[in-house]
Amino acid sequence: MKYKYSPLNYKSDIKIFNIEDNLQSLKNYKDIIIFGTGNYGALALHALKKHNINISCFCDYNDTNCGNDFLGYKVISVNELKKSTSYTAVVIASLRFNYMSEQIKSNDNLMKFDCDFLFFELDLSKVKAFAPIDRLVWMLDSYMFAIDASKKPDVIKVKSLDVVLTEKCSLRCENCSNLMQYYEKPKDNDTKVLETSIERFMHNIDELYEARVIGGEPFLYKDISTVIKQLSNYKKCKKITIFTNGTIIPNSDTIESMKNSKVTLIISDYGKISKKITELKNLLIKMKIHFIAYDVDKWQDCAKIEFVNRTENELCSVFGNCCVNDALTLLHGKVYTCPFSANVTNLKAIPPEYYEDEFDLMKLDDDSIKRKIAKLNSGQKYLKACSFCPGRDYSVGLIEAAIQVKKPLPYKKYLNIDSSNLC
């Protein structure tokens, strides 16, 4: 098996034809602001410097960053940016480009630039970012795919699909963002239902950038190798990412199924409780299976299920800033817009009238499935389920990761809220 390891000289497979025009246009601006900090902001700054283009500052949604420095540049707030009276180029460096573009379109002085012409071909040596090179390459591929998909509305190109194998986990984390801590009787996905639903989903799209194989803990699912092999056989599925917590060594069948250039294993290293992580990494190296391991000590504080009667603008903000608003979820044969919506629905924690984003792959014909996927994939303003979500972005605060509890946590089931009174 040949494996293509991430090079320092990145080049996208997606063709960009207006690179020089965009660069020249950008150079005509006196003020250039990068909208978005984090790794994409760092990559945009790195790319601009490669072209000898200077920026004025960064802009960010996270109020805790505003007024501080990022990579040596001041960070201003979105309100400051929106009030700008000077003719300014805004380079949007985020996967949330649709929502961020909406925020600045009312100011005619602000000219938006995406980053595809900057990211298409990029020397990553000496880049000042916060993720390892392998992860940066993954992020660049993901961004290029998402931008390209947004420009082709007649083609169903799905950036990400969470394939939930099981609700069972080898850990019981108090603040799991996928809400596994609330399942009293966690169960596996029925294998036949899962195989059929994957086939029906893949049959009705044009391309899937990344299938994210998750749980719970996916290595607890006895038929995981069958799922990986099935996903690997689709030419239109470009990447398969498996997320694990470093507590389980996969069996030989699973190892064999992962010896595929499409597959990457993402390992969250929680220190002592990831008790098999050294053994797992050594095995993956020996078997030449690509993996990325992270030391994780903090999580976003986004695991509570609580009703908040938000205004429409607040709901738009919660959804627009969400880091998984472009990650469809497949759970028990149904497709959802996001993992939070999938799990609060599955847990029956919210009223049925809030289930507006789900559909059952097992019950619809192909034409209906295509329409449903296209709708969920098109970038909605918000979900009714956002009324119960604390938000999943960098403004919600950080907490200690992987705190263990002894038994499933209780949660309130909201059954008597009238959705017609929202906003």
Dump pLDDT digits (tens) for 8-40. Answer: 899 999 999 899 999 999 999 999 999 999 999
Among the ranges given (306-315, 336-345, 377-386, 414-423), the one the predictor scored with the smallest mean pLDDT: 414-423
Question: Given a cut of 90, is residue 294 above it in pLDDT?
Answer: no
pLDDT in tens, 265-274: 999 999 999 9
50 vs 99: which has the higher pLDDT: 50
Average pLDDT over residues 195-199: 98
pLDDT for the residue numbered 244:
98
Confidence of residue 323 (pLDDT cuts 50, 70, 90): confident
User: What average pLDDT does the segment 81-104 reach?
Assistant: 93
In tens, the pLDDT along 120-169 reads: 999 999 999 988 888 899 899 999 999 999 999 889 999 999 999 999 99
Q: Is the pLDDT of residue 53 over 50?
A: yes
Between 18 and 246, the higher pLDDT residue: 246
Average pLDDT value over all residues in the chain: 93
pLDDT of amino acid 61? 83
Tell me the pLDDT tens digit for each residue of 388-414.
999 998 778 899 999 999 999 999 999
More confident site: 323 or 202? 202
pLDDT value at residue 134: 86
Q: Check pLDDT > 50 for residue 5.
A: no
For residue 59, the model assigns a pLDDT of 96
Q: What is the pLDDT of residue 422?
A: 46
Which class for 245: exposed (0-12), middle (13-18), buried (19 or more C-beta within 10 A)? buried
pLDDT category at 54 given cuts 50, 70, 90 is very high
pLDDT at 331: 97
Residue 63 clears pLDDT 80, i.e. is over it: no
Judged against a pLDDT cut of 90, whether residue 3 lies above it is answered with no
Is pLDDT of 6 > 80?
no
If pLDDT is split at 50, 70 and 90, which confidence band does 1 have?
A: very low
pLDDT of residue 418: 61
Mean pLDDT score, 115-122: 97
In this prediction, residue 381 carries a pLDDT of 84
Report the pLDDT value the prediction gives residue 269, as an integer from 0 to 100. Answer: 97
pLDDT beyond 60 at 2:
no
Does 287 score more than 90 pLDDT? yes
Band the pLDDT of 276: cuts 50, 70, 90. very high
Average pLDDT of 378-390? 89
| pLDDT over 90 percentage in the chain | 82
To the question of pTM greater than 0.85 for the whole model, the response is yes
